Amino acid sequence: MKYHRVVVSRHGGPDVLQAVEEDCPEPRTGEVRVKVLTAGVSAYDLMFRRSGLLPGTPRVPFTLGADIVGVVDKLGEEVATVEPGQMVAGATFCRGGLGGYAEFVCLPASDLVPVPSGVDPAEAVCVVVNYLTAHMAMHRTANVRSGERILVHGAAGGVGTALLQLGKLAGLEMYGTASRYNHELVSTLGATPIDYRTEDFVKRIRDLTKGEALTSDGVDAVFDPIGGARQLWRSNRALHKGGRLVWFGVAATKKKGLRIIPLTLLMVTLLMLMPDGKRALSTPDLGKDNAWYRETLTELLDLLAEGKIKPVVAERIPLAEAARTHDLLERGRYAGKVVLVASA
Ligand SMILES: NC(=O)c1ccc[n+]([C@@H]2O[C@H](COP(=O)([O-])OP(=O)(O)OC[C@H]3O[C@@H](n4cnc5c(N)ncnc54)[C@H](OP(=O)(O)O)[C@@H]3O)[C@@H](O)[C@H]2O)c1
């Protein structure tokens, strides 16, 4: 049987994404072949496409795509946890791979969890990486408590909207940075929007959280997926004493290139060592602890089925038009997550 997948044929612009036809992969022992219904497109995908310098980039040609939802098509030997025809969701990177931009993908059964019936596969795929990341940052790294005040950067993005929805469920008071055109969405999700392009977010946070004592100004936790030395320094300044800064990404590569990564790591280390009564933290790999991954993803998909979370799907684009998704992400002015859907 033949299938199509989209490969990064060489590093470069969105046009390097090309569909190829190949023999369909066979699941090995412990693996499941999934017929992909939806695949997530993320900011990371752009970094892997643009350059081979990012640690962990596979050799060309390779297939992008960190998260999928699909239907179990064929079981490898020794798989008893899922059945053919069942809808499942999973991340592709748990064992160091990618591969979601495809009609079929083979993944370890242990990385797949069942999707409750009635759930939209495009919304479900948003839950995999974005909500797992948000959950990890909020509940495992920052350990937020009801009533705390948080600042979410990139609040209208895929992970940002997930953080706001989980933050609302956790009873947090929230502030979110976003471009002006995304402020209505940020407000709808329960946060006070701050325009990072025209406002000083440190000053805005200090003003918005002004307390009796000068030392109490600031938030309890900042979630920063933007990165860069200056950005992280300022995020730290938006915390009051005892606050936590959770860093989990480098969206700033869009403008500044990969050199931002070592500068970011240097600043994170400096903030970790600085005796200022605040804590700088980074999130561990999502796929490191399979028990946590399975349990949390199942819990999040149940929240979706119950209507307690509602992922923001920026756009649904057919797999055959994968290059268009990257064009869209490069242009910006979207909110939530861009999703590839199986071509009819
Ligand atoms: N550690 C992990 O496990 C993990 C997993 C997933 C993602 N991540 C990280 O999280 C980052 C966000 O991922 P995503 O999929 O949510 O990306 P995304 O959907 O592209 O969202 C990022 C948003 O950030 C906003 N933005 C850009 N520069 C900003 C700035 N200086 N200040 C505030 N907001 C800014 C933009 O919003 P506006 O349009 O409103 O300007 C953009 O929509 C990625 O870059 C990645 O590094 C980490």
Residue 169 in contact with ligand 1 by CB distance below 6 A = no
Residue 58, pLDDT score: 87
Residue 338's nearest CA partner among 157, 180, 136, 88 is 157
Taking a C-beta distance cutoff of 8 angstroms, is the pair 311, 337 a contact?
A: yes
Residue 89, pLDDT score: 98
Both tokens of residue 230?
Answer: 């200056």
For the chain, how far is it from start to end, CA to CA, in angstroms? 17
24 CA to middle of ligand 1, Å?
34
Domains within the chain, CATH numbers bracketed: 2-114+312-341 (3.90.180.10), 128-282 (3.40.50.720)
Helix residue ranges per DSSP H, the chain:
43-50, 121-126, 132-135, 158-169, 183-188, 201-208, 229-237, 253-256, 260-273, 290-305, 322-331
Both tokens of residue 186?
Answer: 């940020």
Closest ligand 1 atom, residue 285 Cα = 3
Taking a C-beta distance cutoff of 8 angstroms, is the pair 107, 292 a contact?
A: no
Taking a C-beta distance cutoff of 8 angstroms, is the pair 68, 39 a contact?
A: yes
Residue 226 in contact with ligand 1 by CB distance below 6 A = yes
Cα dihedral: 308, 312, 317, 323 (round 10): -130
Residue 52, pLDDT score: 81
State the residue for tokens 């999928």: 68
d(CA 103, CA 68): 10
39 CA to middle of ligand 1, Å?
18
| pLDDT digits (tens), the chain, 344 positions | 999 999 999 999 999 999 999 999 999 999 999 999 999 999 889 989 988 887 778 889 999 999 999 999 999 999 999 999 999 999 998 777 789 999 999 999 999 999 999 999 999 999 999 999 999 999 999 999 999 999 999 999 999 999 999 999 999 999 999 999 999 999 999 999 999 999 999 999 999 998 755 557 899 999 999 999 999 999 999 999 999 999 999 885 656 667 788 999 999 999 999 999 999 999 988 988 999 999 999 999 999 999 999 999 999 999 999 999 999 999 988 999 999 999 76
The helix or strand, by DSSP H or E, that contains position 285, with its residue range, turns out to be none
Residue 153 in contact with ligand 1 by CB distance below 6 A = yes
Q: Which amino acid is at 314?
A: A
Taking a C-beta distance cutoff of 8 angstroms, is the pair 66, 45 a contact?
A: yes
Residue 227 in contact with ligand 1 by CB distance below 6 A = no
